[in-house]
Amino acid sequence: MLIVEAVILLVVMVLISNVISHYLTFIPVSLIQIALGLVIALFWEIKIPLDTDWFLLLFIAPLLFNDGRRFPKRELWQLRGPIFANSILLVFLTTIVGGYLIYMMIPRLSLTVSFALAAILSPTDPVAVQSISKRVKLPDRILHLVSGESLINDASGLIAFKYAVAATVTGVFSFSHAVGDFLYISAVGFLTGFVLMWLIEFARNFLRRQGINDVVFNTVLQIMTPFVIYVITEGTLHASGVIAVVTAGAVSHAQENRLVEDSPELKLVSEKTWDIIVYLLNGVVFLILGDELPVATTKIIHDVHFNTFQAVAYSFGAWAILLLIRVIWIYLYQGISKPRRPSFRVALLAGLSGVRGAVTMAGVLSLPLVTVSGQAFPQRSLVLFVAAGVIIISLVAAVITLPLVAPDNPVPLQTRTSFSDETDDDFEEGGVDEQTAAERHLMSEAEARIYIMRLAINAIEEHRRIENQRAAYDLILDYQFIIRRLELQTRDDAERQQVMDDEITLRQVGLKGEQSALDRLYAHHQISSQAYRSSSGTVKRALRRVGHPNSHATLRSWSVTFHHTVQWIKAVIHRSQDKSSDNEWQLIDRESAKAAIKALSKYLSNDDVNPQSLDKQAIYHLVVFYRNRVERARKDQRVSRSAYAKQLNQLKVVALGAERTGVQSLLEAGNITWQMAGRLRQYINYSENVLMMAVNDEMD
């Protein structure tokens, strides 16, 4: 039960970390998760028992399989030679040279343990590299090189790490045996991943031809693939499961290109499922890092051979060694790849882009506790402390140096933990620079969505009839709420304040109209004193809140919404207790809404008011709101639930058709890019899927 509670707590903390990251955008979410993991350890005293085998299987296998599926093929193919050289040669150079330098810096570490530490610190976070490229204008060749390297060096780094750990655990090391073993585990791992993935794809295609093409079945099959391949490769063939899952991911990616056209739903569901899995796994890894920090720190503090300041100094020294090796390597590569003089600044930036991330942490946490002889793994706490320190230092160094290098581009640093679809799209396709956007009059995504939603409203208005007015106004009101939210995002503070002032003024006019209707109904004895007091009190309280000059717009909006909800609940309770009052409440809703519309019309026709200076969408939004209330309160237009649902679904189909047409017209006019058109169409597809689910539920 404790492990179940721990998993639930870790998942909740992953969600909390991303909420915090939304407000503290200058801090990578990885650092936030490390801090939350530290909080878990200090306040809940939760310890996660780690085992090498299950940790590599649970975290490394799916993460690297997903990396293989998301290779940027074009750049990797163009620079395949240098990328594979970097991802293999640089890793082993870092392992040997860096390990030896770390051994000289920390003589109490054995040489094999130093090699293991350098090896696991060699993989870099691919998303961090892409994030840095948005802030720093690296040459394309260098950018693609370090990005491609970061997607592949996880495998080679983990192989070197695993072999160095094995040498430490067994106490046996033979160079010839190591070379032969490396060739075996690499070659067999590659072939196993390729063959098993091909067989799985063959089996899946065979099952699909037999009619077993269920999307959920195929998605689960794909999710289980890296675990099965890793277990077979490691447990049966004793080869590299890491290389096997990376190869399998690349083969899967190639196979998906054939399946996308006839399996779009499978592609969509599987991609979103992978996003969820990777999102949780990466977050949990850094939370576990934070949870393990007190263990490592406590042991270091009580170690008679080291103190905390020494351990911190060792972390900075290890990071400096890794940075130096990367800078020299990139500097020499520039000299070889181009005739011009290499740039040290570019080499330094490319070196700083080597942020360490989830794979490094997942690997170092898998260090065994004891050796074959039964003795404790030598200096495990120090290795864990130094690795965690290098991860934190590399993240903090990137956060500090980026504003200094590119102060005018406040894009936050992203890591694999904050990976999103947009990151991949931007890197694969390339962004559109500001000059090109201005020349083509490109819309932002919010502006494009506003445009297509207004087309949808126009289409609904064209298909509005007496019998479906309630459904039409309900749907228009929903569209209007979304449009208002998007409009506020596209305006500056002054324009946003003007819109809010216009809405407050119009809302006050409408509420005063409602109050006049209530006074008239009560004076003519058409409603009871209890209904009058309740409704009038609601209107007066709304007037006070709307008219408060010092209330914050967002807080005011939430306050009004909350109060209306409370009043609605009270009204429902009251009506359920007294069925005879239904007609009275309907009369109040209908007449007060009509009076509000009449008051707005009179206000706009006043000579002292210039309607052109008011926000037209604010006027339209409020009028639709009151018309919706009128339709809901009309007895003669009441329809059954099934008839209303049918009318609503028919209008939704019309609206979505108008949205799709609007996307195509914007694309043909050059107002949006192909990437934005794809995202807008995807949004429409999602809406259509939800609509079909609702229709199926109604039919069931």
What is the structure's pLDDT at 562?
44
In whole angstroms, give the CA distance from residue 256 to residue 250: 10
- Mean per-residue pLDDT, 469-494: 80
pLDDT, tens digit (0-9, with 9 covering 90-100), for 196-223:
999 998 898 888 778 787 888 888 998 9
The amino acid at residue 245 is V
Q: Which helix (H) or strand (E) holds 72?
A: none
Structural contact between residues 227 and 63, judged by C-beta atoms closer than 8 angstroms = no
Which of residues 97 and 359 earns the better pLDDT score? 97
Tokens of 675: 């990437």
- pLDDT of residue 425 exceeding 50, the answer is no
What is the structure's pLDDT at 143?
64
Tokens of 189: 């791992």
What is the structure's pLDDT at 16?
93
SS3 549: coil
What is the structure's pLDDT at 105?
92
- pLDDT of residue 475 exceeding 50, the answer is yes
3-state secondary structure 576-639: HHCHHHHHHHHHHHHHHHHHHHHHHHHHHCCCCCCHHHCCHHHHHHHHHHHHHHHHHCCHHHCC
- pLDDT of residue 599 exceeding 80, the answer is yes
Structural contact between residues 145 and 79, judged by C-beta atoms closer than 8 angstroms = yes
| Reported confidence tier of residue 233, pLDDT bands at 50, 70, 90 | very high
- pLDDT of residue 123 exceeding 90, the answer is no
What is the structure's pLDDT at 75?
59
Radius of gyration, CA atoms only, the chain: 31
| Reported confidence tier of residue 321, pLDDT bands at 50, 70, 90 | very high
Q: Which of 271-275, 403-407, 622-626, 647-651 has the lowest mean pLDDT?
A: 403-407
In whole angstroms, give the CA distance from residue 100 to residue 38: 32
- Mean per-residue pLDDT, 371-396: 84
- pLDDT of residue 229 exceeding 90, the answer is yes
What is the structure's pLDDT at 72?
60
Contacts of 670 (CB under 8 A, 6+ apart): 440, 441, 442
Which of residues 637 and 626 earns the better pLDDT score? 626
| Reported confidence tier of residue 296, pLDDT bands at 50, 70, 90 | low
With b for 16 or more beta-carbon neighbours within 10 A and e for fewer, the 623-659 pattern comes to bbbbbbbbbbbeeeeeeeeeeebbbbbebbebbbebb
Sign (positive/negative) of CA torsion 522, 523, 529, 534?
positive
- pLDDT of residue 409 exceeding 70, the answer is no
Among the ranges 252-256, 465-469, 571-575, which has the highest mean pLDDT value?
465-469
What is the structure's pLDDT at 375?
82
| Reported confidence tier of residue 163, pLDDT bands at 50, 70, 90 | confident
What is the structure's pLDDT at 560?
45
* Mean pLDDT taken over the chain: 77
- pLDDT of residue 438 exceeding 60, the answer is no
- pLDDT of residue 309 exceeding 70, the answer is yes
DSSP 262: T
| Reported confidence tier of residue 100, pLDDT bands at 50, 70, 90 | very high
Sign (positive/negative) of CA torsion 7, 8, 9, 12?
positive
What is the structure's pLDDT at 437?
43
* Number of alpha helices (DSSP H) and beta strands (DSSP E) in the chain: 30, 0
pLDDT more than 70, % of the chain: 76
Among the ranges 55-59, 162-166, 435-439, 592-596, which has the highest mean pLDDT value?
592-596
The Cα diameter of the chain in Å comes to: 104
Structural contact between residues 644 and 632, judged by C-beta atoms closer than 8 angstroms = no
What is the structure's pLDDT at 223?
92
Q: Which of 232-236, 386-390, 445-449, 619-623 has the lowest mean pLDDT?
A: 619-623
Structural contact between residues 321 and 98, judged by C-beta atoms closer than 8 angstroms = yes
What is the structure's pLDDT at 49?
66
- Mean per-residue pLDDT, 300-323: 82
What is the structure's pLDDT at 408?
47
Contacts of 641 (CB under 8 A, 6+ apart): none
- pLDDT of residue 666 exceeding 50, the answer is yes
Question: What Cα–Cα distance (Å) separates residue 255 from each residue in 71, 245, 252, 678?
Answer: 13, 15, 5, 22
Among the ranges 176-185, 520-529, 628-637, which has the highest mean pLDDT value?
520-529
- Mean per-residue pLDDT, 156-176: 79
- Mean per-residue pLDDT, 611-624: 73
What is the structure's pLDDT at 436?
45
User: 370 has which bridge partners?
Assistant: 376
For the chain, first and last CA: distance in Å? 39
Tokens of 185: 């585990």
- pLDDT of residue 591 exceeding 50, the answer is yes
- Mean per-residue pLDDT, 364-387: 82
- Mean per-residue pLDDT, 157-180: 78
In whole angstroms, give the CA distance from residue 334 to residue 510: 69
For 337, half-sphere exposure in the C-beta direction (CA atoms, 13 angstrom radius) is 17
DSSP string, 410-436: -PPP--GGG--HHHHHHHHH----HHH
Q: Which of 151-155, 402-406, 678-682 has the lowest mean pLDDT?
A: 402-406
SS3 695: helix
Question: What Cα–Cα distance (Å) separates residue 633 from each residue in 470, 584, 586?
Answer: 10, 10, 5
What is the structure's pLDDT at 78?
64
- pLDDT of residue 379 exceeding 80, the answer is yes
pLDDT more than 90, % of the chain: 10
What is the structure's pLDDT at 286?
80
What is the structure's pLDDT at 76?
59
Q: What is the pTM of this model?
A: 0.64
- Mean per-residue pLDDT, 584-605: 85
Which of residues 224 and 568 earns the better pLDDT score? 224
- pLDDT of residue 582 exceeding 90, the answer is no
Which of residues 458 and 253 earns the better pLDDT score? 458
Tokens of 612: 């052109």
Q: Which of 25-34, 67-76, 507-516 has the lowest mean pLDDT?
A: 67-76
